[in-house]
Structure 1
Amino acid sequence: MILPDGYSDVPAGKIAAVVTHLEMTARPARRDDPPGSWALRKADAPGLDWYRDLHRRVGEEWLWFSRARMNDAELAAIIHAPGIEVHALVVGGRDEGLLELDFREAGQCELVYFGVTAGLIGTGAARFLMNRALEIAWSRDVRRVWVHTCTFDHPSAAAFYQRSGFRPFRRQIEIADDPRLDGTAPRDAARHVPIIE
């Protein structure tokens, strides 16, 4: 369905985001790591509680809700699937960033989840994490690496991806039940997205 020009109503209890898909089809020039004491740790067969905790701490403010709504079997089927890699950004011995890569489609890598906890935003940790993400992705036999971001994410996310070498190629509208109304996310999460009941 093509949305008409002008305003389209979003029903009460729903949220709507503009989603931008970005891709790169060649390995970008390497960017220097910013100064900082960060490390990347691969989580082989990540525990569900560990994954949910890190996913929540990184993404709750940006309304990352799809994984939070999954039961154990659904979540395990994804994050334990062959071709899925989960990595943690480690700071001072604590996991403070999430990188999830999907290599299941031949020749492609999707950055499914990418982010750092709130205290690390603006410190260079995300640049370090992106440098590792691109090293891992392009070390495989891929022709394309892609990611998507939306208007619920940090306001600098799209620009960050473009500085990293991604090029926008598609835009969509995503409409979903507001996760703050069914308890999936706390009511005070994502104050930049008003609740309309």
Structure 2
Amino acid sequence: MTHIAVTTWSLEQTSPADLLPAAAPEGDVRIVRAEVPSPEFSRFLYASVGGDILWTDRLGWTYAQWQEHLERPGVETWVAFDRGTPAGYVELTPRDEGVVEIEYFGLIPAFRGRRIGGHLLSYGAARAWDLAERWPDRPATKRVWLHTCSKDGEFAMDNYLRRGFTLFDTKVEEERVRPTPGPWPGAYPA
């Protein structure tokens, strides 16, 4: 069984003023909230974005687990579309006491390197800060945080720092290497 050392960095913003928005990319890029909980669509986004960067924690989720997560009050999925095609997403998950986690964020490989990521992250962080406006039972956001790791894309950390996130924790752990199928088995040849 193969293991690798994985470094995980946790970053945060503690004020909406921390957010440093990226410029919108050229072309017809739109970001839309997926308001109807859809396990099929969310799993498609998760597998398509995370397939080549070894996202595995949700691959074994059942339909009911996806549905339960997506129906939690305050959980939001914001999807970037490039000329009508899904390009990536950001998933917001509220935690206790005004904390919102950007639980997942990323782009489908074909859309990376086109300046969509900075724009999507900016938009997602702004929606984390104003989450209580859409969910009146949630407290006002006091902190937005996320984590990234050494398996993520080479520009991920730079994007987070450029958007005003600051590092607050670093961990290194051994992790078993698990093959991921991507959006379908064999989608990402070795």
Report the TM-score, using the length of structure 2 for normalisation.
Answer: 0.83
Contact 1:111-1:147 within 8 A present in 2 as well: yes
Q: Distance in 2 between matches of 1:60 and 1:102?
A: 21
Q: Distance in 2 between matches of 1:160 and 1:99?
A: 14
Matches within 5 A, 1:1-197: 12-27=1-16, 28-140=19-131, 141-180=140-179, 189=188
- Percent identity reads 28
AA at the equivalent of 1:120 = F
Contact 1:40-1:87 within 8 A present in 2 as well: yes
The unaligned stretches of length 5 or more in structure 1 are: 1-11, 192-197
How many aligned positions are there? 178
Contact 1:38-1:128 within 8 A present in 2 as well: no
Instruction: Please state whether the residue corresponding to 1:45 is helix, strand or coil.
Output: coil
Contact 1:63-1:189 within 8 A present in 2 as well: no
Q: 1:45: Cα distance to partner?
A: 3.3
AA at the equivalent of 1:97 = G
Bigger fraction of residues in helix? 2
Q: Distance in 1 between matches of 2:10 and 2:189?
A: 21
AA at the equivalent of 1:83 = G
- CA shift digits 1:125-175 (9 cap, x unpaired): 112211211221122421111110000000111111011100011012344
Q: Distance in 1 between matches of 2:70 and 2:5?
A: 26
Instruction: Please state whether the residue corresponding to 1:145 is helix, strand or coil.
Output: strand
Q: 1:74: Cα distance to partner?
A: 2.0
The unaligned stretches of length 5 or more in structure 2 are: 132-139
- CA shift digits 1:72-108 (9 cap, x unpaired): 2222221221121112111121212111001232211
Q: Distance in 2 between matches of 1:15 and 1:188?
A: 22
Q: Distance in 1 between matches of 2:151 and 2:70?
A: 23
Q: Which is higher, the Rg of structure 1 or of structure 2?
A: 1
Change (3 A) 1:188 1:30: closer
